[in-house]
Amino acid sequence: MSQNDSQKIRIILTLNEEEFFGLKILPKADFLEIRLDQFRSEKDAPEKILQKIKDLNASCVFTYRQPEDSSLKSLGVWNMENIVPLLSGLESGKHYIDLELDKDNPVFNGIDEDRFGIIRSVHSFSGIPEYEELLFFLRPVTEEVLATAKSGLPFQRIFKIAALPKNNQESKDFQDSALKLSKLCAKQNIPIGFCGILMGESGKEFRIFPEKLGSQFTYCCLGEPKAPGQVDLETLLSKRK
């Protein structure tokens, strides 16, 4: 991976069911985040999602947020029975799956991780974790990435930290921690992608310019924000011109 490629900012567009199926063309984003908790889980849902991905020729991030890790109410309940047909129908080496580091991810149990890039994520809605705690979460990711196979994805593993600060000092602390973590991720023998998200109003600037946090990824929305402080794609693109 070249230095320029490792420093590129990649845009992930978070979509709910209505927004996703309403797309006519692929938006100007690097990945579409399919928030499965915001999709109904009827029997034919996997087939419909797969067909839409194929029609758009989209690269995706598949996420299933548990209620305590989301500001949104779940629309559908997914399990292994309906996840497996969806994931098994996807092209290998093109998509990411988001797995939370600090809890079980039962809906994704048993998946073939070699076919996907993995985003290892931590979310805190009750303040900023200490730097040492974030280091603790990073360590297993640095070990895990050594066993991954190469693909066309920018990184095989991405370390994602999203936190909602209680005050300005916590916001500053997160900025310092994120920059240090970003450097650690980049120094690995196999570099790990870093995504740092400062949620809430104080973090909007960093969602538009994630490189200020050392982040190589940013999440945005199409319509209503899917997380506190999320900005829409049009605003993001216009301000980054």
Q: Residue 121's domain is classified under what CATH number?
A: 3.20.20.70
pLDDT at 4 over 80: no
For all residues of the chain together, what is the average pLDDT? 92
Q: How many CB atoms lie within 10 A of CB 48?
A: 16
Domain-located, residue 2: no
Domain-located, residue 231: yes
> What is the rounded average pLDDT of the residues 222-233?
92
Domain-located, residue 3: no
Percent of the chain with pLDDT over 90: 78
* Contact partners, residue 132, CB within 8 Å, separation at least 6: none
Contact criterion met (CB below 8 Å) for 14 and 221:
yes
Residues 126/36/222/99 CA torsion (nearest 10 deg): 50
Q: How confident is the model at residue 204 (pLDDT cuts 50, 70, 90)?
A: very high
Tokens of 31: 């990945």
Please give the backbone phi and psi of residue 201, each rounded to the nearest 5 degrees, phi first.
Answer: -60, -40
Q: How many CB atoms lie within 10 A of CB 148?
A: 16
**Residue 3 pLDDT:** 42
Range(s) of the domain holding residue 169: 10-240
Domain-located, residue 117: yes
Of residues 112 and 235, the one with the higher pLDDT is 235
Domain-located, residue 82: yes
- The predicted-structure confidence for 121-160, as pLDDT tens digits, reads as follows 999 999 999 999 999 999 999 999 998 888 899 999 999 9
**Residue 70 pLDDT:** 62
Contact criterion met (CB below 8 Å) for 197 and 203:
yes
pLDDT at 17 over 50: yes
Cα(216)–Cα(214) distance, rounded to whole angstroms? 7
Residue with tokens 């990184």: 155
Residue with tokens 């020729």: 57
Cα(220)–Cα(19) distance, rounded to whole angstroms? 13
Domain-located, residue 1: no
Q: How many CB atoms lie within 10 A of CB 22?
A: 11
pLDDT at 1 over 50: no
Domain-located, residue 37: yes
Of residues 137 and 224, the one with the higher pLDDT is 137
Contact criterion met (CB below 8 Å) for 170 and 127:
yes
Domain-located, residue 192: yes
Contact criterion met (CB below 8 Å) for 129 and 162:
no
Cα(71)–Cα(74) distance, rounded to whole angstroms? 10
Q: How confident is the model at residue 2 (pLDDT cuts 50, 70, 90)?
A: very low
Total domains in the fold of the chain: 1
Interstrand relation of 157-163 and 193-198 (parallel, antiparallel or unpaired): parallel
Strands (E), the chain: 10-15, 31-35, 60-63, 96-100, 117-124, 157-163, 193-198, 217-221
